[in-house]
Amino acid sequence: MLRDHYIFNNGRLKRKHNTVYFAKNDGEEQSLPVEKIRNLHLFGEVDFNSKLLNFLSKHDIVLHIYNYYGYYSGTYYPRKKNVSGFSLVNQSAHYLDNYKRMFLAVRFLQGGVHHMLRNLRRYKEKTAPIIAEMEMEAMKMQVAETIQELMGVEGCIRQHYYRALNDVLKYDFVFEKREKHPPRDPLNALISFGNTMMYRTVLSEIHRTSLDPTISYLHEPSTKRFSLSLDIAEIFKPLIVDPIIISLINKRGISKKHFSYIEGEICYLNDEGKKKFITRFEERLKQSVKHRTLKRQTTYRYMIRLECYKLIKHLINDEIYKPLKAWW
């Protein structure tokens, strides 16, 4: 089975004996079997050359690069194999038509809100008032006429949701306000890192379909970002990332010692903290449930790919798009 591989050490990544080797700066080498790798994530200072990139392209391996603080820097993608002009034209047409765009934008948010509420209902005795507020706010999605209105509703819902985390989390992890650029406290740093990993995972699955990752509906398409991954990730962040964060904190899998600061202000996960989160993240992606339509066990990761396929079917007028809403 294909898996993601994470490199935290400094060294050199190279092709050798028809496979990939990682050579640490101390001379130790480790082989990475290419037939089992889906994505490579580089968190350390790693050198590589075009010979390696050609080899990764041959095996359809995506290379994600992060800086010292764990922030995403960029990605090397092999030449896209699943291309469809028909799909691209229809994807663009749905963006240009305001009604069609709003339909998809609302559906993405509905999936995300469903999973936020699902998380809070596990602590209903503490979060019931906030759940009611979120449900009232969510009703406004159906009457929003513009993307700006819809994003305003989404912002209010998420504000309530993050406020509820203070009733859920333990051990001095307190949410005051969402700070992304940059995060200034451990909880914001953990949310930002988890969301980054989710965006990269969604983007990797989009790459393996005929969808164009730059054409989106809820988030405005822009330069220098793959905004469709942000759209689809709205569904999966509360389903995959948030339960991991809650579990890690409440079960003391992660604590304040797993965070560092830049000049006492900018907070980020240290290497040990990143490894702890990534371990749980990969475990979560490998978990499976019996799919109601496919009638077989389906992993969380493959559900992301299925979401892309469902979107394609909608774009080519084959089947109306319905977002994933966890039933288990």
Output the known binding site for Mn(2+).
Answer: 154, 219, 234
Judge if 299 and 277 occupy the same domain: yes
Find the mean pLDDT for residues 73-102: 91
Question: Is the distance from CB of 119 to CB of 243 less than 8 angstroms?
Answer: yes
Same domain, 139 and 39: no
Say if residue 224's pLDDT is above 80. no
CA distance 156 to 123: 20
Say yes or no: 153 and 262 in one domain. Answer: yes
* CATH number, position 250: 1.20.120.920
| Cα 119–Cα 121–Cα 127 angle in degrees, nearest 5 | 100
Q: Across-strand partners of 13?
A: 22
What pLDDT digit, counting tens, does each position of 95-112 carry?
Answer: 999 999 999 999 999 999
Domain termination residue (choose one: 76, 102, 119): 76
* 92 shares a domain with 69: no
In order, the DSSP letters of 36-103 are GEEEEEE-S-EE--HHHHHHHHHTT-EEEEE-TTS-EEEEE-PPP----HHHHHHHHHHHHSHHHHHH
User: Which one, of 166, 169, 302, lies nearest residue 244 by Cα?
Assistant: 169
Q: Are 251 and 302 part of one and the same domain?
A: yes
> Domain for residue 33, yes or no?
yes
274 lies in some domain: yes
pLDDT interval class at 79 (50, 70, 90): confident
Q: How many Cα atoms within 13 Å fall on the side-chain side of residue 79?
A: 4
Domains contained in the chain, number? 2
300 and 201 in a single domain? The answer is yes
Model confidence pLDDT, tens digit, residues 3-14 = 899 999 999 999
Residue 321 lies in a domain: no
One domain for residues 171 and 245: yes
Per-residue pLDDT band at 301 (split at 50, 70, 90): very high
Distance in angstroms (rounded) separating the CA atoms of residues 206 and 192: 21
Supply the pLDDT for residue 72.
87
- Report whether pLDDT(321) > 80: yes
Q: Which is more confident, 171 or 291?
A: 291
Closest CA to 108 of 317, 314, 328, 327: 314
pLDDT of residue 18: 86
Q: What is the extent of the structural domain holding 20? A: 3-76
The answer to whether residue 324 sits within a structural domain is no
* Percent of the chain scoring above 70 in pLDDT: 100
Whether residue 62 sits in one domain with residue 139? no
Position 311 pLDDT exceeds 80: yes
Residues 154 and 294 in one domain: yes
Q: DSSP E strands: which ranges in the chain? A: 3-7, 11-16, 19-24, 29-32, 37-42, 46-47, 62-66, 72-76, 259-262, 266-269, 288-290, 297-299
Q: How would you label 108-134 residue by residue, b for 16+ Cβ within 10 Å and e otherwise?
A: bbbbbbbbbbbbbeebeeebeebbebb
Question: For the ranges 23-32, 55-64, 230-239, 296-305, which has the lowest average pLDDT?
Answer: 23-32
End residue of a domain, out of 27, 42, 76: 76
- The predicted structure's pLDDT at residue 176: 82
- Give CA–CA dist 33/124, Å, rounded: 46
Q: What is the structure's pLDDT at 82?
A: 79
55 & 157 share domain: no
322 in any annotated domain? no
d(CA 237, CA 268): 19
Phi-psi region of 17 (alpha: psi -120 to 50; beta: other; left: phi over 0): left
Q: What is the pLDDT of residues 15-31, one digit of tens each?
A: 988 889 999 988 788 89
Look over the chain and give the mean of its residue pLDDT values, rounded to a whole number. 92
- Among the candidates 44, 76, 108, a domain finishes at 76
Q: Are residues 278 and 192 in the same domain?
A: yes
Residue 266 to residue 273: CA distance in whole angstroms: 16
Q: How confident is the model at residue 201 (pLDDT cuts 50, 70, 90)?
A: very high
Mark whether 66 and 14 lie in a shared domain: yes
Q: Which residues are annotated as a binding site?
A: 154, 219, 234
- The CB density around residue 164, as the number of other CB atoms within 10 Å, is 24
pLDDT tens per residue, range 135-194: 999 999 989 999 999 999 999 999 999 999 999 998 778 888 888 878 989 999 999 999
Q: What is the mean pLDDT of residues 207-222?
A: 93
Q: Domain with 64 in it: what CATH number?
A: 3.100.10.20
Global pTM reads: 0.91
